[in-house]
Amino acid sequence: MNFDHDNTKIDFVKHRNKFFIFSGAMIVIGIILLSTIGLNLGIDFRSGTTIDVLTNNAPISSEEISTEFAELGYNPDDITIAGNENEIGRVKFIGALSSAETLEIQAHFEEVYGETPTVSTVTPMVGEELARNAFISVLIAAVGIILYVTIRFEFLYGISAIVALFHDALFILIVFSIFRFEVNIPFIAAVLTIIGYSINDTIVTFDRIRENMGLEKKVKDFKDLARVVNKSLVQTLARSINTVLTVVFAASALFFFGGEAIRTFSFALVVGLIAGTYSSLFIAAQLWLVLKSKQLEKRKKRPVEQSEA
Amino acid sequence: MKKNRGVKKGRIAVFFVIVAAFVALIATNVMDHANEISLGLDLQGGFEVLYEVRPIEEGQEINRDLLSDTVASLNARINVLGVSEPNVTIEGDDRIRVQLAGVTDQQAARELLSTEARLTIRDVDDNVLLDGSDLVEGGARQSFHPDTNAPIVTVTIDDANKFGDITDEIRRRTVPENRMAIWLDFDEGDSYYEEIMKEDSKIISDPSVTQTLRTRDIMITGNFTIESADHLAGVLNAGALPVELEEIYSHAVGASLGERAMEQTIFAGFIGIALIFAYMIFYYRFMGVMAVITLSIYIYIVLVVFNWMNAVLTLPGIAALILGVGMAVDANIITYERIKDEIRAGKSAMSAFRAGSRRSLSTILDANITTILAAAVLFYFGTSAVQGFSVMLIVSILTSFLTAVFGSRLLLGLWVNSRILNKRPRMFGVKEDEISEL
């Protein structure tokens, strides 16, 4: 992916309203989805019991697992078959099992398959606490980022970067809501990774805009700003694409080969990383352009203030 | 260009020496480091206990606040064990489940968790002489007996005079009643004469007192190993549990699932890294080779540092590692794109390298500092899994800065300054016709 900086003319700015409308519509639909059907919360966020039964006669069918449980007198709420050779039965019970029940189940499956099933029972308190805590930490981090970017760049860059950050975090929540993927604690880690990447990517793009702003003799109006933004985006395009490609390589390797346990986790990473690149190019930079041009217009109307500043 | 200066072969030799040294270093101990890293419960399985919470005193109400306090004390104790990312969850109204990954000595862990850590010093008639309220908070530590060098635990008390008065009183008693019994978790109804006969006694030691001791430091000798003395000191510092814990169920979590997950994850990691390497070499040619070398060193250093920190690798940790690889690659990419820009603008390889390196530094710095800032906030305000993520991220970013900025620059600099790459833009992934005439 080579982009000749002088001759490549891609007008990112021209289509900015389409991006805003696309992202805006998606977020509105997303918020409606999140507030109606919500997220498919995993065991970390609901009281219940998950039992992973590793069997020694793959492939196993959910009927077989179900029969085994019926023999013991249990009726699982959900059974999924996992593993490369379909050798794992993941059984869920909403509501906690007593320790006697757990022991009974474990003893039974150990006898049948020679492997002790993994049983995890939780109340949602810890998961909820973790999620709430992560959310608050992200809010505080956002303030910190705005402060740093304001010092090193300018306040408007900070605002735009944070909008892009929340855009990406929300995007991944929406995707998970639509596809009904299970939200668990590793998912929170994935969201944090995406936020980290989103900041990094946005700052690199902004750094080039800042540099090109410094090179411009005079930036008077929207047209000048648009030219700078377009130029900067073309200049960083090769880097943006190459970087996201390499990270997506790592995340998709985990998705395809990493096994059942981290599949949703790596899926969240892949989607989020792509969203992160999209938002840096099409949301953060464009938003900054709009905000900055508003600021320039204001200054033009009040030349007295400008001279004071 | 006017002067026909030759290739400085010495610099290329230095390059190969550096690379050979790292290859030797990595080849000899990378597997040791990789195997030493402890894995979280989600990756390797582990050990778990379910406790029922019972009140210590009659009339004590078991409520959410009390349970939360208990969880906090348990977490403090688990830190003594050196297990990071423990999973302590409240179940139902009066149960607490503790999941520990990578704990090898389950018995020691169990004792450490369930002891109430109520230290009392009593006379032989079980009258309290000193209790936990006389101890200085956080004043317990493991040390060695000055005469015998045996491991002991030292605790500090508030008031040297109080201890002086007590020892003065005890020493006047007749043998064998001049003893101070140091109890852990004395329960109503226990008695000195019965307990001291037991093999697994609640009395840590019962020194006889022959002189008045006006001191604030009390040495507790006992049948300690360094480790058990260290654990006791840690537990005393972590504070007493507000409740009594009854172990109702314990279980080693099926490790075969975790093992499989880990094998697959490592395999996937190798594929991902191989893809990144292939892409970097394909796209950045010679510079890509440099990137591959520095990225390999980066991965090695992260493993070593992670091992040094005794941290436990979990899924969130792997996520941070991937992000770290991404940022290390990104630092390389930013620099190389800048160098390509400069070459396209018609600069020589040497000046393009210098200008590209200089101009990319502030970009990399700003991007990394912003991300570290976010990671630090997550670490400070976050809890277990979030903290594990942020620690790994901070380690990764600092290492990537070291390797991708300085390492890459050093290695590429050796080649560029040897002049062997002069007038060979294709080695940088730039075609001749892209170069604008000056």
- For the domain A48-122, what is the CATH code? 3.30.70
The pLDDT, as a whole number, for residue B433 is: 73
Task: Quote the percentage of chain A above a pLDDT of 90.
Answer: 11
- The domain boundary residue, chosen from B195, B222, B253: B253
Q: Is B221 in the same domain as B272?
A: no
The CATH number of the domain where B88 resides is what? 3.30.70.3400
Q: Is B14 in the same domain as B135?
A: no
Residue pair B253/B45 in contact (Cβ under 8 Å)? The answer is: yes
The CATH number of the domain where B350 resides is what? 1.20.1640.10
Q: How far off is chain A from B298, nearest CA to CA, in Å?
A: 15
Residue pair B154/B218 in contact (Cβ under 8 Å)? The answer is: yes
Name chain A contacts of B318, Cβ cutoff 8 Å: 254, 262
Interface test with B, best of A51, A193, A237 (most B CBs within 10 A): A193
pLDDT-wise least confident of A47-56, A61-70, B186-195, B331-340: A47-56
Query: pLDDT category, A8, cuts 50, 70, 90?
Result: low
Residue B180 has pLDDT above 80, yes or no: yes
**Neighbour tally for B256: CB within 10 Å:** 14
- Structural domains of chain B, count: 3
Nearest-CA neighbor of B139 among B120, B152, B158, B113? B158
Residue with tokens 């104790």: B77
Compare all CA atoms of chain A with the CA of B47 and give the residue at the minimum distance.
A118
Q: Is B223 in the same domain as B285?
A: no
Q: Tens of pLDDT along B38-71?
A: 666 666 656 677 788 888 777 777 787 888 888 8
For residue B173, count CB atoms less than 10 angstroms from its CB and return exposed for 0-12, middle for 13-18, buried for 19 or more.
middle
Domain assignment of residue B235, yes or no: no
The pLDDT, as a whole number, for residue A299 is: 80
The whole domain housing B215 covers 117-230
Q: Is B67 in the same domain as B24?
A: no
The pLDDT, as a whole number, for residue B348 is: 84
Residue with tokens 């169920």: B249
Question: Helix or strand or coil: residue A207?
Answer: helix
Total residues found in chain B within this entry: 438
**Mean of pLDDT values over B351-369:** 87
Q: How far off is chain B from A28, nearest CA to CA, in Å?
A: 27
Domain assignment of residue B1, yes or no: no
Compare all CA atoms of chain A with the CA of B340 and give the residue at the minimum distance.
A2
Name chain B contacts of A133, Cβ cutoff 8 Å: 381-383, 386
ipTM of the predicted assembly exceeds 0.90: no
**Mean of pLDDT values over B1-19:** 74
Domain boundaries, chain A: 13-41+125-300, 48-122
Could you tell me the CA-to-CA distances from A301 to A224, A296, A305 in Å, in that order?
A: 18, 9, 9
The pLDDT, as a whole number, for residue A82 is: 64
Q: Is B63 in the same domain as B146?
A: no
Which of B248, B362, B378 lies at the smallest CB-CB distance from A141?
Answer: B378
Measured CA angle at B70 (ends B66, B72), to 5 deg: 115
Nearest-CA neighbor of B380 among A165, A144, A186, A202? A144
**Mean of pLDDT values over A287-292:** 92
Could you tell me the CA-to-CA distances from B128 to B121, B133, B166, B212, B359 in Å, in that order?
A: 6, 12, 11, 18, 72
Domain assignment of residue B165, yes or no: yes
Question: What are the strands of the beta sheet with B151-156, ordered from one edge?
Answer: B141-144, B151-156, B217-220
Which of A45-49, A182-186, B172-176, B317-321 is predicted most confidently?
B172-176
> Are residues B91 and A121, on separate chains, in Cβ contact within 8 Å?
yes
Residue B419 has pLDDT above 80, yes or no: no
Over chain B, what is the mean pLDDT?
A: 79
Q: Is B220 in the same domain as B260?
A: no
Domain assignment of residue B67, yes or no: yes
Fold of A13-41+125-300: Multidrug efflux transporter AcrB transmembrane fold (1.20.1640)
Residue with tokens 């395809």: A256
Domain assignment of residue B2, yes or no: no
Residue B362 has pLDDT above 70, yes or no: yes
In angstroms, the CA B295 to CA A263 distance is 25
Domain assignment of residue B318, yes or no: yes
Q: What torsion, rounded to 10 degrees, do the Cα atoms B124, B127, B130, B131 define? A: 110
- The domain boundary residue, chosen from B198, B230, B262: B230
Residue B193 has pLDDT above 80, yes or no: yes
Q: What is the pTM of this model?
A: 0.66
Q: How far off is chain B from A256, nearest CA to CA, in Å?
A: 8
> β-strand B181-184 against A88-94: which pairing, if any?
unpaired
- A vs B: CB pairs below 8 A: 230
> β-strand A40-41 against A182-183: which pairing, if any?
parallel
Q: Tens of pLDDT along B250-270?
A: 555 544 445 666 777 778 888
Which of A83, A200, A254 lies at the smallest CB-CB distance from B330?
Answer: A200
Q: What torsion, rounded to 10 degrees, do the Cα atoms A55, A58, A63, A66 define? A: 0
> Are residues B268 and A256, on separate chains, in Cβ contact within 8 Å?
yes
